[in-house]
Amino acid sequence: MQIQGYLWVHWGFRMRVVKVWDESIEPWSFVGTGDGTDEFHILRAVAEKYDGACSLWFPQAPPMGKKTGLAALDSITAIKNPKISTFLFLIDREHIGQGMRRSARAKLDNNDVKGMIENRLLNKHIKIIKIGDNLPDGAFMIKGKLGSHILQIYVIIQGINLKIEEEISKLIELEKNIMIPPEKECIRGFFKEMFHRKSIGLGTAKLIEESSKNNLQKSFIGLTFILSEIEKQCSKNN
């Protein structure tokens, strides 16, 4: 049995999200995001609902510093380790189309975002081999090539209309039957009262631990779809 950071217990394998990559860990995928403070806790909690003896490396310090929006994709060219050929990006919808008017950003559909992702990758000399079709809104699967290196790129655009707080609010409604406005302060207040945690990331992680997979799939549609795909790939590779 392979050891990846810690000994795996015999009762099963769960997908893991790790911050530190050392010689004992062989990461299956790099994770990039604009502001990873809350996203790390949320991704780790959801990933633990999925099988797969693989580690998703979510570095504490992004290789190119803090990047928001589609600029996070630039990290692909900064990762020089040939063992990493899979990339997962979590991007808030509100940061797509930076520089555009809010009303114009609100009109962007999946095809618009797909075109913007393609252009960003091509500008970094990443050849597009294939882009997945018939995926949920906000979920993108791209097979690409950088030099001789074949890449699998997953992009999740977070937020129903604008931001991840909308998805968190929906999960609260489904699990607790309580309507909480999708605003940071409102969600923080709810988690402080419910779990004695003011951090949105830690509070959401606690809620996710208690949530059914069905409600997670209804709330975090793009994230759960992509993690299901990663689960399939992990099972093929192990």
The two structure tokens encoding residue 162: 């604008």
Average pLDDT over residues 79-98: 86
> What confidence category does residue 12 fall into, taking pLDDT thresholds of 50, 70 and 90?
low
> What confidence category does residue 79 fall into, taking pLDDT thresholds of 50, 70 and 90?
confident
Average pLDDT over residues 94-116: 81
Burial of 179 (0-12, 13-18, 19+ CB in 10 A): exposed
Do 220 and 137 form a contact (C-beta atoms < 8 A)? Answer: no
Cross-sheet strand order for the sheet of 139-146: 16-18, 55-57, 29-33, 86-92, 149-158, 139-146, 127-131
The two structure tokens encoding residue 51: 């099988």
H helix or E strand, kind and range, residue 184 = helix 184-195
Taking CA atoms, 224 is separated from 79, 90, 167, 206, 210, in Å, by: 25, 12, 12, 17, 16
pLDDT attached to residue 161:
85
Q: What is the pLDDT of residues 148-182, one digit of tens each?
A: 999 999 999 999 888 999 999 999 999 999 999 99
The DSSP secondary-structure symbol of 74 reads: G
Q: Taking the domains of the chain in order of start, what are their residue ranges?
A: 16-160+216-237
Phi, psi of 213 (to 5 degrees): -65, -35
* Residues 6 or more apart in contact with residue 119 via CB below 8 angstroms: none
pLDDT attached to residue 36:
67
- Does the pLDDT of residue 67 top 90, yes or no? no
Taking CA atoms, 143 is separated from 68, 146, 174, in Å, by: 22, 10, 35
Do 119 and 112 form a contact (C-beta atoms < 8 A)? Answer: no
Place of tokens 């799939």: 217
Burial of 112 (0-12, 13-18, 19+ CB in 10 A): middle
pLDDT attached to residue 8:
30
Mean pLDDT for the chain overall:
87
* Distance of alpha carbon 66 from alpha carbon 164, whole angstroms: 18
Do 17 and 44 form a contact (C-beta atoms < 8 A)? Answer: yes
* Distance of alpha carbon 71 from alpha carbon 83, whole angstroms: 23
- Does the pLDDT of residue 142 top 80, yes or no? yes
Average pLDDT over residues 213-217: 96
* Distance of alpha carbon 57 from alpha carbon 173, whole angstroms: 31
